[in-house]
């Protein structure tokens, strides 16, 4: 309801905004940022998704509190198992939710089966726990939904025998067994859980960015390296879906919180918008030569969810390759300090470390 209200309130601004922004390129950022004006006629309401829960725990569907299904860290504070900046006094970002074990073997080890939440294609399986913080993990791309998000299941004790990259899986199909595997974190038996993520993948050209970054070790996970995956809050999505506020991911992305609007001057079309065309707010210029850049709206954790192509006329006076913060919402940025999205400098706001990484990976 709030979204609709805001849209109606600001929709006329949407037309004026590009003009105003050009005129006041060095002005202070506006807050709150105006919503992205939809440019396409509303399509027929999409069918409501049929989602499965990743574990056999029924607590979420029964409407019970998060204590009934979320696994906290050693702190015991249940919020530490949620998506966001609940860890280390709010400074450490957790990009998924941790779902606790319901079933145990005689020695107390977790034995919960792990299920695919939607139909999809297995894109990645890491069988060597020592190769990742995620331990053994599986990534599924849900090609039948728009946008085609991925789901990720981590710290597994075993991947379902016979499951291979490229396999098609059904909603609710068993893909693994819960565990506590990780290369870096020692997860005690009592805190065994599945780390569950939903998100989008930034690029098909990830290795180029990884090599340039000089991490000093090999990228063991190809396109499914954590730096190439940007998650959103799976519990928030499941809650809105359960409440009937969203039918699926397209609705959910359209309602995402707008934290920052970035302008990138480039002629490049990132493969991101080709893989997630529904996030384009306007069609690409038909003549490829007239694309002059992008205005990209990101959510509080840096997920680029609304893309407006700009023409060369619109970016005429701007330096090719420049990246500029056009607007940001100060309150949202402050509330999400576990992610470095904006850096205040004497010259004005600049992309913070995490936002810069996202942009660099997108345009590498």
User: DSSP of 164-219, one letter per residue?
Assistant: -TT-EE-TT-EEEE-B---SS----GGG-EEEEEEEEE--S-HHHHHHHHT-SS--
Question: Cβ distance 118 to 49 under 8 Å?
Answer: yes
Tokens of 67: 């204590």
Indicate left, alpha or beta for 102 from its phi (over 0: left) and psi (-120 to 50: alpha). Answer: alpha
| Size of residue set near Zn ion by CB under 5 A | 2
For the chain, the straight-line distance linking the first and the last C-alpha, in angstroms and rounded, comes to 38
- The region of 63-71, 90-98, 161-169, 241-249 touching Zn ion under the rule CB under 5 A is 90-98
Provide, rounded to whole angstroms, the least separation between the CB of residue 317 and Zn ion: 45
Crossing angle between the packed helical segments 353-363 and 206-213, to the nearest 10 degrees: 130
- Closer CB to Zn ion, 98 or 354, in the complex: 98
Nearer to Zn ion, 73 or 308 (CB): 73
To Zn ion, the closest distance from the beta carbon of 281 in angstroms equals 32
Residue 329 Cβ vs Zn ion, minimum distance, rounded to whole Å:
27
Nearest CB to Zn ion, comparing residues 195 and 364 = 195
What is the C-alpha separation between 151 and 131, in angstroms, rounded? 19
CB of 155 to Zn ion, least distance (A): 7
C-beta closer to Zn ion: residue 36 or 114: 114
Interactions with Zn ion, residue window 91-130 (CB under 5 A): 98
Give me the least distance between CB of 218 and Zn ion, in Å please.
Answer: 24
Q: Which stretch binds Zn ion (CB under 5 A): 39-47, 140-148, 188-196, 329-337?
A: 188-196
Enumerate residues 6+ apart whose C-beta is below 8 A from 294. 263, 264, 266, 307, 308, 309, 310
Cβ of residue 64: shortest distance to Zn ion, in angstroms?
A: 20
Q: Which stretch binds Zn ion (CB under 5 A): 2-10, 37-45, 193-201, 307-315?
A: 193-201
CA pair distance 315, 31, nearest whole angstrom? 23
Please identify the residue of the shown chain whose CB is closest to the bound Zn ion.
195
Considering only the stretches 5-13, 129-137, 190-198, 214-222, report the one whose residues sit in contact with Zn ion under the rule CB under 5 A.
190-198
Question: Which residues does 276 contact at the CB level (< 8 Å), separation at least 6?
Answer: 147, 148, 200
CA distance 64 to 67: 8
Residue with smaller CB distance to Zn ion, 78 or 264: 78
Q: Which is nearer to Zn ion, 112 or 329 (CB)?
A: 112
Q: In the bound complex, what is the minimum distance in angstroms from residue 82's beta carbon to Zn ion? A: 9
Shortest spacing between CB 94 and Zn ion, in angstroms? 6
Nearest residue (CB) to Zn ion, 235 versus 303: 235
119/141 Cα distance (integer angstroms): 9
- The nearer residue to Zn ion, 195 or 261, going by C-beta atoms, is 195
- Asked if 195 touches Zn ion (CB under 5 A), the answer is yes
Q: State whether the Cα torsion 70-67-237-297 is positive or negative.
A: negative
Q: Binding residues for Zn ion, per CB under 5 A?
A: 98, 195
């Amino acid at each position: 309801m709030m979204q609709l209200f805001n849209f109606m309130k600001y929709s006329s601004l949407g037309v004026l905004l590009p003009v105003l922004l050009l005129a006041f390129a060095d002005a202070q950022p506006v807050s709150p940022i105006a919503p992205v004006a939809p440019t396409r006629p509303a399509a027929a309401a999409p069918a409501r998704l049929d989602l499965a829960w990743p574990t056999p725990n029924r607590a979420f569907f029964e409407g019970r509190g998060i204590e009934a299904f979320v696994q906290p860290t050693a702190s015991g504070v249940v919020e530490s198992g949620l998506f966001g900046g609940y860890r280390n006094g709010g400074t450490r970002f957790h990009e998924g939710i941790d779902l606790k074990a319901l079933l145990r073997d005689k020695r107390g080890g977790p034995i919960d089966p792990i299920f695919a939440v939607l139909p999809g294609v297995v894109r990645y399986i890491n069988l060597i726990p020592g190769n990742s913080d995620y331990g053994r993990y599986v990534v599924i791309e849900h090609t039948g939904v728009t946008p085609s998000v991925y789901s990720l299941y981590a710290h597994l004790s075993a991947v379902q025998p016979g499951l291979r990259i490229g396999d098609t899986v059904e909603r609710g199909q068993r893909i693994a067994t819960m565990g506590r595997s990780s290369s870096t974190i020692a997860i005690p038996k009592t805190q065994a859980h599945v780390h569950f993520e939903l998100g989008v993948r930034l690029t098909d050209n990830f290795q180029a960015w990884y090599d340039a970054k000089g991490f000093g070790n090999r990228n063991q996970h190809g396109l499914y390296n954590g730096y190439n995956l940007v998650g959103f809050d799976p519990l928030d999505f499941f809650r809105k879906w359960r409440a009937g506020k969203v039918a699926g991911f397209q609705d959910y992305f359209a309602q995402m919180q707008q934290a920052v609007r970035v302008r990138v001057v480039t002629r490049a079309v990132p493969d991101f918008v080709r893989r997630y065309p529904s996030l384009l707010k306007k069609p690409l210029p038909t003549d490829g030569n007239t694309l002059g850049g992008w205005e990209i709206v990101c959510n509080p954790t840096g997920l680029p969810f609304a893309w407006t192509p700009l023409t060369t006329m619109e970016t005429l006076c701007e330096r090719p390759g420049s990246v500029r913060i056009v607007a940001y919402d100060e309150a949202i940025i402050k509330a999400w300090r576990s992610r470095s999205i904006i850096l205040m400098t004497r010259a004005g706001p600049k992309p913070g470390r995490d936002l810069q990484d996202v942009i660099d990976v997108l345009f590498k």
